[in-house]
A and B are shown apart, each in its own frame.
Chain A
Amino acid sequence: MRSNVLRHNLLTALLLGPATAWLVVFLVLPFVAIAVFSVGQRAPEGGYQAAFTLAQYVNLPARATAFWNTMVLAPAGALASLLVAYPVAYYLALRAPERWRLILLALVVIPFWTSLLMRTYAWMYILGGSGIPALLAYGGFEDVRLINTPGAVLLGIVYGYLPLMILPIYVSLERLDRRLLEASADLGATPVSTFLGVTLRLSLPGVMTGFSLVMILLLGEYLIPTLLGGGKVFFIGNALVDLFLQSRNWPFGSAIAITLVLVSVVVLLAANRISTRLSGARRVDLI
């Protein structure tokens, strides 16, 4: 009896060991290190010097632009992705002919097989001087600037993160019981009322999952603003790269990183709260 319990515990430890070790080494320890850095000082030659000061946090407003850009463009990007993704997911789940569905879904996912870097470079070319602006010049619209604008960054974001938004919404719509739609129509609801009262409500868990997924990834986004925003549209991610690799101000970078994590957690909890309240007892399945 006793040896059984012991063996059981040993087995549990063996099964959980690798994952726990991984998380401790690559998540918990770095997080603690960053937290410690964030209350330290920049060493004269760059890097970290032990101290206990909140000076780095007080200094956060110095990077207000990066925070502002992220806080505006991340939700805007997530919202724009949502507006594009929902009709696509709706079509795929409820309207597309059965035999086309898998092929269409594959078309959504396939771009993921190419690196985001390559695809963003392609957009640089399309939006750049010899791309769409050149075409527009033929039509008489001279000097249209597309690249290195917030609009270009938004476009890149929607393009890059669309599949992440489509898939969870598709899953929640696909699971939707079609008879509920018939019941709604039977009870006198017009197609618009049925969409608002049943379809949209019951797909909210998917919407919230997609929204928070894209939003969280966007909070740390670095690549798209760099390539499509030029030096002008700075995200927090760009600020972090700058602080850790260029000016080597680790404590300040750490303070920004910690703030970012806190914001992400708040966003996640809020999204979870909202979708739980709106769609009954169901929880958000975050992967």
Chain B
Amino acid sequence: MTAVPDIEFRGVTKRYGSVTAVSGIDLAIPPSAFVALLGPSGCGKTTCLRMIGGFEQPSEGAVFIRGRDMAGTPPYRRPVNMVFQQYALFPHLDVEDNIAYGLRQARPRLASREISLRAGEALAMVRLAGYGRRKIHELSGGQQQRVALARALVNKPAVLLLDEPLAALDKKLRTDMQIELQNLQREIGITFVLVTHDQEEALSMSDFVCVMNGGRIVQLGQPSEIYDEPADLFVADFVGKTNLLSGKVAGHSGNLVEVALADGTVIAARKRTSLRQDEAVAVSLRPESLSLGAPGSGRLNGIIRNRIFLGSTAEYAIEVGGIGTLLAKADHLIGSKNLFKPGEPVAIGFTAGTPLAFPDPKNNGTNQRENKHVEIIS
């Protein structure tokens, strides 16, 4: 990489007493990127964001912003701004004064005409022109969100930090804001770092996704890589829906590994690490990579238990003897007459790509893994 990264973590560890929240993270975020830190709660993603903002200090290692070591630099001297969870707007100030807050802190002081000019531009940018004299509590959640954005961006930060910014909005508004945020980022061209636990949000908005678990980065890549080529079992399970089938390594053929499933069926799968003979593994099969057909035509046979009609597609929960319940997503190109009905026997084939096998230390070889999404369906 030639350009100086906007944000760089070098061997960053953060401990709270005996608890290690973040352990040994190395990460470089290139300029003008939209990066999502994705992971379950407690994975350390928010701690990382707060270390960039200066609200937490690393126990070990260093955080660099545009090549400058930030050790000992307080939040008010860092060239970054944050959109806080629940926005943290000042209740005693109106919309315009909230937005002008950062500009008023600038030293040497800015002329008051410039302050109101820039605040007005920021308001227009988030489509809130004319709302300057409103009180914060008079705004809807979506409007408050946009004020928080304007309040951060008006200071022209090198990097914008977003801490679960859409979590408090309803689904429709969230989708709108996702698009708006993407457009803003492209328009302004600065780096956005987004913290989220919502994998859909991370995949749909960002250029790079950094998946975290247990205080470590487990995978960094473009959204399609994360989805298609998960680095390990955790990522496969956490990002997108997938079926995880327990099995044992039965043999190798070229680059592929042969996995014997609990019912004795042997399927070929790709692997990310070398696997030993008889090692317990989990095979990941995305619901959309399964094809359904007449009994006898596929690799596995099952019975439809549930069907969720989704318009252009349908999701099926299929019970497969000896293996458990699988989730399949199928197009019905010829119209909804071709839908399978609950109770009907079907054959399951694998269409797109090849299944992926991961070492699975929790599996003792025979037990069915819990497929969480299937429970929701049935």
Binding site for B on A (CB under 8 A): 177, 179-180, 182-190, 193, 197-198, 201-202, 278-281
B155 in the interface, Cβ–Cβ < 8 Å? Answer: yes
Q: Which residue among B77, B91, B137 has the maximum number of chain A CB atoms within 10 Å of its CB? A: B91
Are B88 and A179 in contact, CB atoms less than 8 angstroms apart?
A: yes
Are A187 and B55 in contact, CB atoms less than 8 angstroms apart?
A: no
With a CB–CB cut-off of 8 A, which chain B residues contact A188?
A: 76-77, 102, 105-106, 155
> Measured between alpha carbons, how far is A247 from B74 in the docked complex, in Å?
67
> Measured between alpha carbons, how far is A278 from B88 in the docked complex, in Å?
19
With a CB–CB cut-off of 8 A, which chain B residues contact A189?
A: 76, 101, 105
With a CB–CB cut-off of 8 A, which chain B residues contact A197?
A: 101
> Measured between alpha carbons, how far is A188 from B80 in the docked complex, in Å?
10
With a CB–CB cut-off of 8 A, which chain A residues contact B74?
A: 185
> Measured between alpha carbons, how far is A190 from B105 in the docked complex, in Å?
8
Min CB distance A175 to B, Å, is: 11
Contact of B82 among A186, A190, A202 (CB under 8 A): A186
Are B101 and A179 in contact, CB atoms less than 8 angstroms apart?
A: no
Contact of B92 among A186, A190, A279 (CB under 8 A): A279
A-B contact sample (7 more), CB < 8 A, given A187-B101, A187-B152: A182-B55, A186-B82, A188-B105, A188-B155, A189-B101, A193-B105, A202-B91
With a CB–CB cut-off of 8 A, which chain A residues contact B92?
A: 201-202, 278-280
With a CB–CB cut-off of 8 A, which chain B residues contact A201?
A: 92
Contacts known (A193-B105, A280-B135, A281-B135); A185 close to B75, Cβ less than 8 A? yes
Contacts known (A182-B75, A202-B91); A187 close to B81, Cβ less than 8 A? yes
What 10 A-B pairs come out closest when comparing CB atoms? Answer: A187-B102, A188-B105, A179-B88, A183-B88, A185-B75, A280-B92, A189-B105, A185-B76, A188-B76, A186-B82
With a CB–CB cut-off of 8 A, which chain A residues contact B286?
A: none
With a CB–CB cut-off of 8 A, which chain A residues contact B102?
A: 187-188
Are A186 and B105 in contact, CB atoms less than 8 angstroms apart?
A: no
Are B88 and A177 in contact, CB atoms less than 8 angstroms apart?
A: yes
- A201 nearest in chain B by CB position: B92
Binding site for A on B (CB under 8 A): 53-55, 74-77, 80-82, 84-86, 88-93, 101-102, 105-106, 135, 137, 151-152, 155
Are A179 and B151 in contact, CB atoms less than 8 angstroms apart?
A: no
Contact of A182 among B88, B90, B101, B105 (CB under 8 A): B88
Q: Which residue among A184, A187, A198, A278 has the maximum number of chain B CB atoms within 10 Å of its CB? A: A187
With a CB–CB cut-off of 8 A, which chain A residues contact B86?
A: 179
> Measured between alpha carbons, how far is A183 from B55 in the docked complex, in Å?
10
> Measured between alpha carbons, how far is A188 from B115 in the docked complex, in Å?
15
> Measured between alpha carbons, how far is A128 from B371 in the docked complex, in Å?
81
- A183 nearest in chain B by CB position: B88
> Measured between alpha carbons, how far is A256 from B336 in the docked complex, in Å?
91
- B74 nearest in chain A by CB position: A185
> Measured between alpha carbons, how far is A183 from B152 in the docked complex, in Å?
9
Are A183 and B82 in contact, CB atoms less than 8 angstroms apart?
A: yes
Are A198 and B105 in contact, CB atoms less than 8 angstroms apart?
A: no
> Measured between alpha carbons, how far is A108 from B234 in the docked complex, in Å?
52
Q: Which residue among A183, A197, A201, A278 has the maximum number of chain B CB atoms within 10 Å of its CB? A: A183
Contact of B91 among A193, A278, A280 (CB under 8 A): A280
> Measured between alpha carbons, how far is A183 from B91 in the docked complex, in Å?
12
Contact of B88 among A180, A279, A280 (CB under 8 A): A180
Are A198 and B90 in contact, CB atoms less than 8 angstroms apart?
A: yes
> Measured between alpha carbons, how far is A183 from B83 in the docked complex, in Å?
8
With a CB–CB cut-off of 8 A, which chain A residues contact B106?
A: 188
Are A186 and B91 in contact, CB atoms less than 8 angstroms apart?
A: no
Min CB distance A228 to B, Å, is: 40
With a CB–CB cut-off of 8 A, which chain B residues contact A186?
A: 53, 55, 75-76, 80-82, 84, 152
21 contacts between A and B (CB under 8 A): A177-B88, A179-B84, A180-B88, A180-B90, A182-B82, A182-B84, A183-B82, A185-B75, A186-B55, A186-B76, A186-B80, A186-B82, A186-B152, A187-B81, A188-B77, A188-B106, A201-B92, A202-B91, A280-B91, A280-B92, A280-B135
- A179 nearest in chain B by CB position: B88
With a CB–CB cut-off of 8 A, which chain B residues contact A198?
A: 90
Q: Which residue among B75, B86, B106, B135 has the maximum number of chain A CB atoms within 10 Å of its CB? A: B75
With a CB–CB cut-off of 8 A, which chain B residues contact A279?
A: 92
> Measured between alpha carbons, how far is A197 from B137 in the docked complex, in Å?
19
With a CB–CB cut-off of 8 A, which chain B residues contact A281?
A: 135, 137
Are A187 and B105 in contact, CB atoms less than 8 angstroms apart?
A: yes
Min CB distance A68 to B, Å, is: 37
> Measured between alpha carbons, how far is A193 from B109 in the docked complex, in Å?
14
> Measured between alpha carbons, how far is A160 from B102 in the docked complex, in Å?
42
> Measured between alpha carbons, how far is A279 from B352 in the docked complex, in Å?
61
> Measured between alpha carbons, how far is A190 from B77 in the docked complex, in Å?
9
> Measured between alpha carbons, how far is A185 from B77 in the docked complex, in Å?
9
With a CB–CB cut-off of 8 A, which chain A residues contact B82?
A: 182-183, 186
> Measured between alpha carbons, how far is A198 from B104 in the docked complex, in Å?
14
Are B90 and A183 in contact, CB atoms less than 8 angstroms apart?
A: yes
- B85 nearest in chain A by CB position: A179
Are B91 and A190 in contact, CB atoms less than 8 angstroms apart?
A: no
Min CB distance B178 to A, Å, is: 23
Min CB distance B48 to A, Å, is: 16
Min CB distance B26 to A, Å, is: 25
Min CB distance A129 to B, Å, is: 51
> Measured between alpha carbons, how far is A180 from B84 in the docked complex, in Å?
9
> Measured between alpha carbons, how far is A184 from B54 in the docked complex, in Å?
13
Q: Which residue among A179, A183, A186 has the maximum number of chain B CB atoms within 10 Å of its CB? A: A186
> Measured between alpha carbons, how far is A201 from B97 in the docked complex, in Å?
14
- A185 nearest in chain B by CB position: B75
With a CB–CB cut-off of 8 A, which chain B residues contact A193?
A: 105
With a CB–CB cut-off of 8 A, which chain A residues contact B152?
A: 186-187
> Measured between alpha carbons, how far is A177 from B87 in the docked complex, in Å?
11
Are A187 and B155 in contact, CB atoms less than 8 angstroms apart?
A: yes
With a CB–CB cut-off of 8 A, which chain A residues contact B75?
A: 182, 185-186
